[in-house]
């Protein structure tokens, strides 16, 4: 066992591991140490400043779920866009769960969305489940506000996948888009432009949102597809 693995086991919370492992069906419980995210972020911040950082980033694949999260959080501290993107590209193929995927967002991306967009489009066309999910997540995070264009909705609508974790993110994206860009997004639901599962899950998530009015939720319920 390496020094970083040993240090992570010193931070282990068994009860948290047992609880969290139930939320991570794609990962063997034996690969989950059980370290809470705020503690992992603090650990990663320290590691990012140490001489061990570069060696750790080169040690892919990792064995433990927490190692992958630490890897993601270390990349987030990188201030140079090109370096952060290079490390992101190396890491994406090794993401194997929704949580690591959704927590990971290098801070420098926010200041370079014009450059990020081209990579996002590439990720959406990947054969890897969590790379596609990550691309959708980046569109949702950075391109539904000031940088929004209606064509981005098409990018997500045109993704064809049988993967649950891809389609769940597609539904999350459209539900969020309904709350932020209602007029542009509504036709995708009202005109049945999505597959049935994503269509209904989008409505479900939108109805659960606090950012959508009661009136709108009432209307969205009328658009639900029944088998």
Q: Do 135 and 181 share a domain, yes or no?
A: yes
Percent of the chain clearing pLDDT 90 (strictly above)? 97
Q: Do 78 and 184 share a domain, yes or no?
A: no
Q: Does residue 227 surpass a pLDDT of 90?
A: no
pLDDT tens digits, one per residue of 66-125 = 999 999 999 999 999 999 999 999 999 999 999 999 999 999 999 999 999 999 999 999
Q: Do 25 and 103 share a domain, yes or no?
A: yes
- Model pTM? 0.95
pLDDT tens digits, one per residue of 55-65 = 999 999 999 99
As given in the structure block, the two tokens for residue 20 are 């969290």
CATH number of the domain encompassing residue 215: 1.25.40
Please give the Cα distance from 216 to 177 (Å, whole number). Answer: 13
Q: Do 132 and 227 share a domain, yes or no?
A: yes
pLDDT tens digits, one per residue of 194-224 = 999 999 999 999 999 999 999 999 999 999 9
Q: Do 104 and 117 share a domain, yes or no?
A: no
Q: Do 118 and 225 share a domain, yes or no?
A: yes
Q: Do 119 and 105 share a domain, yes or no?
A: no
Name the one residue in this structure whose structure tokens are 């888009």: 177
Residue 68: domain span? 1-111
Q: Do 155 and 97 share a domain, yes or no?
A: no
Write the DSSP symbol of residue 94. Answer: G
Q: Of the residues 83, 111, 139, which one is the last residue of a structural domain?
A: 111
68 neighbors 94 (Cβ within 8 angstroms): yes
Q: Do 139 and 45 share a domain, yes or no?
A: no
Q: Do 41 and 106 share a domain, yes or no?
A: yes
Q: Of the residues 111, 133, 148, which one is the last residue of a structural domain?
A: 111
Q: Of the residues 71, 96, 111, which one is the last residue of a structural domain?
A: 111
Q: Do 22 and 71 share a domain, yes or no?
A: yes
207 neighbors 174 (Cβ within 8 angstroms): no
Q: Do 122 and 179 share a domain, yes or no?
A: yes
How many structural domains comprise the chain? 2
Nearest residue to 140 (alpha-carbon basis) of 181, 117, 189, 173: 173
């Amino acid at each position: 066992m390496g020094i970083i693995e040993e240090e992570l086991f010193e931070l282990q919370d068994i009860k948290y591991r047992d609880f969290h492992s139930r939320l991570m069906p794609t990962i063997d419980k034996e690969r989950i140490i059980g370290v809470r995210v705020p503690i992992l972020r603090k650990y990663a911040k320290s590691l990012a400043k140490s001489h061990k950082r570069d060696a750790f980033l080169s040690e892919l694949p990792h064995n433990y779920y927490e190692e992958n999260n630490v890897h993601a959080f270390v990349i987030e501290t990188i201030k140079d866009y090109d370096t952060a993107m290079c490390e992101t590209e190396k890491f994406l193929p090794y993401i194997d769960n929704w949580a690591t995927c959704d927590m990971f967002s290098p801070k420098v991306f926010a200041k370079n969305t014009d450059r990020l967009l081209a990579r996002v489009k590439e990720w959406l066309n990947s054969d890897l489940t969590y790379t596609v999910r990550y691309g959708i997540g980046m569109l949702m995070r950075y391109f539904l506000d000031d940088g929004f264009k209606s064509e981005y909705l098409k990018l997500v609508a045109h993704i064809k996948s049988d993967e649950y974790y891809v389609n769940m993110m597609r539904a999350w994206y459209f539900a969020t888009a309904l709350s932020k860009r209602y007029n542009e997004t509504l036709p995708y639901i009202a005109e049945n432009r999505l597959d049935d599962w994503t269509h209904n899950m989008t409505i479900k998530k939108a109805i659960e949102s606090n950012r959508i009015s009661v009136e709108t939720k009432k209307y969205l319920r009328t658009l639900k597809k029944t088998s």
